[in-house]
Chain A
Amino acid sequence: MNVVEAEELVVTYRRGKVIAVNGISFSVKEGEVFVLIGPDGAGKSSILKAICGVKGYKEGNLRVFGEDPNKEREFERIKEKISFMPQGLGQNLYHKLSVEENIDFFAELYGVPLEEKEKRKEELLKITGLYSFKRRKAGKLSGGMMQKLGICCSLIHKPKLLVLDEPTTGVDPLSRREIWKLIYRFSRGGTTVIVSTSYLDEAERGTGILFMEKGKELFKGTPEELTKVDLEVFVVEGKDIEEAYHRAWTISKTPRFKGNKLRVVSSEGKLREILKDLNVSIKKVKPNLEDVFVEKIGLVRVEVPEEFKPKVEVPDIAISVEGVTKKFGKFTAVDNVSFTVRRGEIFAFLGPNGAGKTTLIKTIIGLYSPTEGKIRVADRENNFKNLIGYMSQKFSLYSDLTVIENLILWGSVYGVKPSKVKEIFDSVSSSLGLRKFEREIVKNLPLGIKQRVALLSALIHSPAILFLDEPTSGVDPVERDVFWQLIRGVSRKFGTTVIVTTHYMNEAEYCDRILMMNRGKIIALGTPDELKKEVAMSQTKSEITMEDVFVFKVEESEGKEN
């Protein structure tokens, strides 16, 4: 029997003015782990809310256990069978209550008999590893632990359908793995699970996948079906990689840089033909979901405009950080960190939420002064603000101004005349795909476009060093590629130094060097390949991902502490 059956589902907000889900059909069989995937604003949450009957749908047909969620009265009766964990890190938990009290509250809500509750609570606490924290306040847990507690709370009344809205967003890779283990465990026990995520690599863990964008279906099926397409995918690496990338555009619409490697979807003959005089190696690999996804949509080639060439040359050591510690009261956010960044490097700070990445960036650019240690940017201790560009986590755009107004505002902050800003915009807007958005109010723009505008505003005064704080959270692979083409472009073409923070492990592969942080400390530093090699030696797995490196390094560093 199908647990969920959706036909041409339409979900709207603001009395129909905003269409979040626009004609989606799918079905979820009993015992499935069904994954909804898509970037922010794709409509994932809306579908999940409609399934759980916490938000009505406008058109189409939806049946959950054969009942229509829009019929409020009838649907109330089957709510005991469903459990819904909304989006947001620990947002549905009661932070002032302890772990145990939270679970108790959920049990009471569903009227779970006392004896059964105690038994099940103990079991759940043990499975999730929260048993020793049961008296701790929920607000004092880490992000990963909060999500696990959320799952415990959702499972206390033994639901037949578990609906999880982005349970792994903002959670470190170690906890992500544990959360997926939990999902599988309960799925094996007979619970049907529907999960949404914005991580492409997680989609492959489901038994069924629905990929959405802007409220519409891009594709759906099982992971096997989706990757068993006749795509030929190649990884190219070697000395002439930049030229190879350039030429690859002539035969493919989706060449992508992955660090120093190039990934191309093409026929082997053609690829070898155009690359034959170059010093590169070509290796055929299995297609993954990202290949399928980008082939479906196609990438855009972005030219980096001359306007972004820095006016000031910085020395070879662009940034040096020596023994920097930053404390907030008793809390040490950054703990004795030292490293240098060379001119033109793309340098990543990688680590889970709360690792100290943002604090470190803010300390370097002078928004915080370090408690201890020395920082030099372009060989200066201060007075370097005109050399740097900064794009903050939430994009520092004024949402009620238009794109061009925002840029003019940013320009004037750095002393760039409005006429000059206009000139720059006119010359770069078409290659950035921003031309038609010039007079749009920023808050109405899609996330990916906002991100490009934010990047443009950080680049408007042609800085020599660019700081980007979590620039690509929640955008789809196509947007992400545009973004990285730009970053790579200014770095390779003009020698602009780029510092970027991210908790997307895959993203780190775009960077020249990676600094991994956990709890304010450096736990690894090196190029992606170096780090992988280092870890590969101590593991038996054939292909090591950045996530493996991270998990290994965190476990190693925590092991040392204990």
Chain B
Amino acid sequence: MKVRKIKAIIVKELKELFRDRVALVTVFLVPILIMIVFGYGLKLDVKHVPFAVLDYDHSNLSRKIVSEFAENREYFKLTGYLNSEVEIDRVLTDGEVRFVLIFPFSFEKRFKEGKIAKFQALIDGTFPYRAEVIKSYIRATVQNETLKRLKEKGNNLLCDIRTRYWFNESLNQDKIVAVGTLAIALLISPAVFSALLIVKEKESGSIYNIYSSSITKLEFLLGKMVSGIFVSFLIFLVTLSMVLFLFGVRPKGDILTLSIGTVAYLSVAVAFGILISSFFSSQAAAFIGTAILTIVPSMLYSGYLTPVSSMDRGALFMAHSIPTFYYLRFLKGIFFKNSPIDYLLRDVGILIFFFFALFSLTLFFFKKRELS
């Protein structure tokens, strides 16, 4: 292995990139856009849910319960009262409201008689996750009201619960999403960039210079790999500063550990892109192939959108076989938990294992000749 040849490849790649304004913009613009689009656009919180009321009872109690909902402005937004059942259909279908509360005749009367007073909530179930959350909000609100009334009647509660959130004290979803998006962006961009690093040479024909020369495939691949990791690290610096300054998330752990883990993760992404490029010969195909193979699993199974703990067996297996899962765990450890170093190093170790596995596969599949 000659370091000189590896260096020649690296120098060539970087010169080409930094002299090509279009390529440069694409390389950095794409991750920035991913950060902005997902970081701001992906709202998993269910808040300010619009609702309407159909009150047949017109009693003090029904009004009291409605105001209990309406006053909780963070979660609910009362759009108005309905006059008839016909209107329920309309407001739910139009999406004007997400749920409707219906109070039957003699609602208050039953309550005063000591019977169970029932009222109905109709929830828009087109988006199950949201519907579930709304249901639990409604439950909680009603139970709160019930408990209050029990207390007023002089009943002592058997037990009470005080909750506090750890790691993300204000329970700010935006911060979690921003950090998660960092993990996604740092997989997609480096992988796509590295895939094109080789495929562009196949498309133009300059790959024949490599095929026909005496440079070994290890030297060539290492050269491409190091160029890819170097450029990816620049992407990391850009996206990290977005997380720090734009989204205002400050890590509890130290930046050095973060950088070391990130280099491991970027190496995996780059190695994956280069592996993919062994199977494609057109830039368009390599681009789409790499994008799909990175976006889909990393979004669905890494714990970015769905908590890993709520996955079924198959999904859980998928989660553990993709590197983003470990990096996301690592990132959360650094940013929110300030996890002990051996916890973090375990994830970095797994990432390094991924890297060697992918690189060995690439060495096996990459041929210094055209596919026949």
Q: Which residues of A contact B (CB under 8 A)?
A: 11-13, 15-16, 49, 52-56, 58, 72, 76, 79-80, 82-84, 86-88, 91-94, 96-97, 101, 104-106, 108-111, 137, 153
Contact = CB atoms under 8 A, between A and B. Distances in A.
Pick the 5 closest A-B CB pairs, nearest first: A108-B8, A91-B205, A84-B212, A54-B211, A55-B370
Interface string B1-45: 010110110001001100110000000000000000000000000
A153 B210 CA distance: 13
A87 B205 contact: yes
* Interface size bracket, B side: 20 to 34
B372 A55 contact: yes
Q: Which of A54, A88, A110 has the most CB atoms of chain B within a 10 A radius of its CB?
A: A54
B12 A86 contact: no
Contacts of A55: 369-370, 372
Contacts of B208: 49, 52, 54, 84, 86, 92
A469 B212 CA distance: 36
A82 B212 contact: yes
B203 to A, nearest CB: 9
A364 B222 CA distance: 53
B205 A92 contact: yes
Interface of B: 2, 4-5, 7-8, 12, 15-16, 19-20, 204-206, 208-216, 367-370, 372
A109 B370 contact: no
Contacts of B368: 54, 72, 76
Contact of B369 (A54, A97, A105): A54
B4 A94 contact: no
A53 B369 contact: yes
Nearest to A51: B212
B251 to A, nearest CB: 37
A72 B216 CA distance: 11
Contacts of B8: 104-105, 108-109
8 contacts: A54-B208, A54-B212, A56-B369, A72-B368, A86-B208, A108-B4, A109-B213, A110-B214
B362 to A, nearest CB: 16
B370 A49 contact: yes
B258 to A, nearest CB: 33
A109 B16 contact: no
B212 A83 contact: yes
A363 B48 CA distance: 62
A116 B12 CA distance: 21
Q: Which of B2, B19, B210 has the most CB atoms of chain A within a 10 A radius of its CB?
A: B19
A66 to B, nearest CB: 17
Nearest to B217: A76
Q: Which of B2, B211, B216 has the most CB atoms of chain A within a 10 A radius of its CB?
A: B211
Contacts of A54: 208, 211-212, 368-370
A14 B2 CA distance: 34
A88 B8 CA distance: 24
Contact of A94 (B5, B7, B206, B215): B206
Contact of B209 (A11, A87, A92): A92
Contacts of A58: 372
A153 B15 CA distance: 18
B214 A109 contact: yes
Contacts of A52: 208, 211-212
A137 B5 CA distance: 22
B198 to A, nearest CB: 14
A96 B5 contact: no
Nearest to B370: A55
A53 B210 CA distance: 11
A111 B372 contact: no
